Structure formats: structure tokens, C-alpha cells
Amino acid sequence: MSPSSLYKTVARAEAVTWALLIIAMILKYGFKVGDWPVSIAGFVHGFVFLSYIATAVLVGMNQRWRKRLILGAAGTAFVPFLTIPFDKWLERKSKLEGDWRTDATDHPGDKSWLDTLMRWLVARPVLTFIIFFVVIVGVFSSMLVMGPPGGGS
């Protein structure tokens, strides 16, 4: 899977889970069906939300985006459906072109420890998936223990 296809897939999944969460909130507050729709949709959205942020950082580093653009990409997850137009903007600006960078080049950034780590990770996609999954589950679990945003239902 290319950086572009990974980013686009997770960006779309993030937008879909926003829709699910909004529908769940309408069911809960508009139709008084209880907390269960928000519990389920919130769980799915939270996991995909964190996955999108991790994907934006990894793809941004691979594509050599500026830090500000990486932060902007991660920030689009906070606004419902913004990942889709941002993805289209990235495509128009050719920011998603290219393959995974697994080998060092003469580029000055390839000498940093962070870029070395990124190349090591993308050269091992299955291990990277497992590492990211474990980290996301850890962050997600910590957030579940802290409770929902706003402190209640």
C-alpha cells in the first residue's frame, strides 16, 4: 500500500466515523434511544481518529512535509469531514506522490534520527502496523479511563 492510498483510506474512514458519531448523537438526543449508539460510534470514531493522526504523521514524515503541514493534517481530524477536502488539497498539490522511503538518500533530512526511525518503520510494514496498533490501543485505553470529552454523557 502506497503512502497515498494509506492516507486516503484512513482519511475517508475518519470522515465516515464522524458521520456515524453524528448519527448516533441524533439518535441519543433527538430520539432518546439511550447512550448505546454514542458508546458504539464514539468507540469506533475514537480509534479511527487516533489512527488517522498516526497515519498523517507517518505519511507526512515520509513525504517530507513541513512540520506545520503535518500538524495541520493531524488537526483536520478535529473538524467533522475536513479530512476529505484536505486529502483532495494534498493531491492537487502533489503532496501524496511517491513511494515509501526505505533507503537513505543525500537529502539532509535523511541524517536525522527521526527520519532514520521512519525509514526503519516503513521498511517493516507488518511490525509497524503492530507497533502503531499497540500504541493506539494504549492511548485509546487511557482516554477511556479518563472518560468522554466534556466529562459526562
pTM for this entry: 0.91
Per-residue pLDDT of 67-94, as tens digits, reads 999 999 999 999 999 999 999 999 999 9
In 5-139, the DSSP E strands lie at none
Side-chain half-sphere exposure of 104, counting CA atoms within 13 A: 12
Short-list 3, 45, 69, 20, CA closest to 148: 45
**CA–CA distance from 126 to each of 113, 129, 132, 150 (Å)?**
21, 5, 10, 36
Average pLDDT, the chain: 94
- The domain segmentation of the chain, as residue ranges, is 3-151
